[in-house]
Amino acid sequence: METKADVIDRFWDWAEEELERRNLTWYAVERKAGLSSGAISKRVDAQRPTETTCTAIAQVFGVPPEWVFRKAGILPRAGDPRRQDLIDVLKYLQDEDLDRIMLFAEVLYRRHKRETEGLPATAGGGESSGE
């Protein structure tokens, strides 16, 4: 069973990896997010990040705040994290982008059906006209 301390440790490990990947420091995150110096860096490894800290990290990392809240244990994890991450991203997209993603998702769905069930690749998953 995962403890609160495990969640916090995993969060700060993830955050440190992301900092390194982005070639940033906590000072740079604080500065870019408009937080006071030490607002985040003093808390690293000590406690669960605050909502303000999570929001600042999300802003600077360019990810949905929900991702950071879930990693910090503020929002619950449910099901497949990749699916939840996708849902979180979709909330922020414009209608035009959602339409593009929907078209792509339909293509992937039809391909999956074809590969797994031997079904014809018809638009919208409709019936084949060959019956």
Q: What is the pLDDT of residue 38?
A: 79
Q: Burial level of 85, CB count in 10 A (0-12/13-18/19+)?
A: middle
What does residue 127 show for φ and ψ, rounded to 5 degrees? Answer: -80, 155
What are the tens digits of pLDDT across the range 43-86? 665 678 889 889 999 999 999 999 999 988 898 887 888 888 88
> Has residue 125 got a pLDDT over 90?
no
Distance CA 127, CA 66 (A): 39
Distance CA 102, CA 93 (A): 12
**Alpha helices for the chain (secondary structure H):** 4-21, 26-33, 51-61, 65-71, 81-90, 95-117
> Among candidates 108, 111, 106, 97, which has minimal Cα distance to 124?
106
Helix 51-61 vs helix 26-33: angle between axes, to the nearest 10 degrees? Answer: 90
Q: What is the pLDDT of residue 24?
A: 93
What are the tens digits of pLDDT across the range 2-43? 788 888 888 889 999 999 999 999 899 989 988 888 778 766
Q: What is the pLDDT of residue 54?
A: 92
